[in-house]
Structure 1
């Protein structure tokens, strides 16, 4: 049986006020093509399908089109769980009715011991799902005296393992933060102070564990316990991530064969660092000028209308940093000296920056006359 593991789609996400819906539609189309060309038998989505609990209408429409293509057109079953960004109740609406179409939504804690069982050429695989949960949620659903995320998650895993049936391979979907995982800035913390982490060892006896929440593709404690990572790069801390999906082949009693398959976004996310003039020159030759960019300028002097000039060659500059203008002790001393300068000296600096040339003697004399006239008017008004 060939399984495609994906997670953290975050449909409807905005990044620096830029909608990513078109980018998500593009990469989901690639996912559908991979399901078809790679002969995938079942698709797993390990939570955070939407970016927020009440998603916008166009995000719902995109998810609907994607699931229809997978379940109806390709007749590939989809199993998904809710994540911390999703509303479990909204995502799980009419879940029982959708099972007949091949869509299995596991968003309720009280059904964690009820697997979705799929048979492929005599290989029977039981898929269990643990949606995002809190210790409070587990205490409310079961008679469990759990206080931490780890205790709550372990209690659910133990309930599942006690319900195992002989003769089946077992796969677990879980949306959680396994301790030691590589985090990024775009993941919403589950709690404060690191108390949200769970251990990987209780899950080690599953044949494969399909995790969601962390956005970097990675193993978590054991080779068969994996995060597929997010569908796209969702922060500049993820620029070095290799986004994609995970293919898992289960054959008989053999260990799973696991492969990462890359997805190519319509626009990549990059960080450009250097002098302003160099970055402008680079933009003229750049093969991907439409990528989402963080530009970090190393120039020591202020530059007028920086962002507009950059966007003339890189239209999707989303964030601009100027570390070269950060003042150290010497620079702060220099700034205090600057405050002691006269109006004419300050304006002369501005004129040279704006016009690209120094003021002439005639211009300086005219400026001095204007400044004197202004001071005289102020004195008259105060008299």
Structure 2
């Protein structure tokens, strides 16, 4: 059986105010569909974070509708799709039961769903489970399950998925999670305030292949049986220069897996330019002038932004790295800004000499940050 694994489309995403919509539309209705026409997989596995937020823009909803229609009806290729931590599962799964006969299989439960497939060697059970917080999974599985962490919730979900698979079938899991040991990037939203929200890969033992979403770098574990396809586009400058792809997976009669990464090339690459203003302006004659740029200047000159924009059409972010004068107040240039909001708060308090939070203050901070993240548009 051939499966095309993709994830983390993040429809509706923007970077420094620049919308990715045109880039996503060009890629998904162009190169991505061309790959499907050439490889003819038995199914597409879309492993969550389909949208960038719970209430996506109307044009993102229209784009998803168009792409899925072209895949399922136009090419006759079934799609298995789950919600990620950026999606609202209830909205994403609207009409799921009505759409399944047409070939669009949307998992409408964080506990998981089983979708039966078959090839020349027999049955293949695709076991899909959308992202669920520990609180949601504790409610679904009941108090007796004792779910208080992401790891405990993931253990309950994978045990449930095992029970859904028919005896003798090869099994493929589609899930959205942070597997312990995975390589992160700055463009991913933390699953847990004050911690990683990581889960153990041991819970996936016995499944023939696990198609994961959440981490934006292509990577695999357990000799390729557990894999992230990565996002189809680079969504932060921390990913500049990396290669993006989708993963074509072949499952043989015994459930052994071979995988091939098929590269995706964006119209506008993300690129970081660093140097003096004169040095950066001199680079404008090089290929890639229309890349989306983060410019880091090592000197300070009045009107630098205007001069750069005369030579480069897409300067999305301008930073300065010139040394601070002796005794000048301010943060250390180039210092890393923590990704975890709680870590950022602690770093700020340390910088102003406010000291550590006590237990009650830390709990209040986590509650406030979590509420803000849930309300994030």
Query: Shorter-normalised TM-score: what interval?
Result: 0.7 to 0.9
Q: Tell me the distance in 2 between the aligned counterparts of 1:129 and 1:109.
A: 9
Q: Secondary structure of the residue that 1:159 maps to in structure 2?
A: helix
Aligned equivalent of 2:118 = 119
Deviation per CA, 1:154-199: give whole Å up to 9, x if none.
Answer: 1111122133322311000110111111111111111122251100
Q: How does 1:118-267 map to 2 (within 5 A)?
A: 118-143=117-142, 144-267=145-268
Structure 2 unaligned residues grouped into runs of 5+: 330-377
Contact preservation (8 Å) 1:178, 1:220:
no
Aligned equivalent of 1:4 = 4
Contact preservation (8 Å) 2:247, 2:259:
yes
Q: Tell me the distance in 2 between the aligned counterparts of 1:249 and 1:236.
A: 33
Aligned equivalent of 2:23 = 23
Q: Tell me the distance in 1 between the aligned counterparts of 2:250 and 2:235.
A: 29
Deviation per CA, 1:15-67: give whole Å up to 9, x if none.
Answer: 10111100001111211110111122210000000011011110001001100
Aligned equivalent of 2:64 = 63
Aligned equivalent of 1:312 = 310
CA RMSD of aligned residues (A): 1.5
Q: Tell me the distance in 2 between the aligned counterparts of 1:125 and 1:221.
A: 20
| TM-score, L = length of structure 2 | 0.83
Q: Tell me the distance in 2 between the aligned counterparts of 1:317 and 1:109.
A: 40
Shift in Å, 1:122: 3.9
Structure 1 unaligned residues grouped into runs of 5+: 334-383
**Which is worse superposed, 24-33 or 51-60?**
24-33
| TM-score, L = length of structure 1 | 0.82
Larger radius of gyration: 1
The count of corresponding residues between Structure 1 and Structure 2 is 326
Q: Tell me the distance in 1 between the aligned counterparts of 2:298 and 2:116.
A: 57
Deviation per CA, 1:112-150: give whole Å up to 9, x if none.
Answer: 2x4111112243211011211111111111122111100
Shift in Å, 1:222: 4.4
| Partner residue of 1:327 out of 307, 310, 324 | 324
Q: Tell me the distance in 2 between the aligned counterparts of 1:51 and 1:26.
A: 17
Q: Kindly report structure 1 stretches of 4+ aligned residues shifted beyond 3 Å.
A: none
Q: Secondary structure of the residue that 1:293 maps to in structure 2?
A: strand
Q: Secondary structure of the residue that 1:140 maps to in structure 2?
A: helix
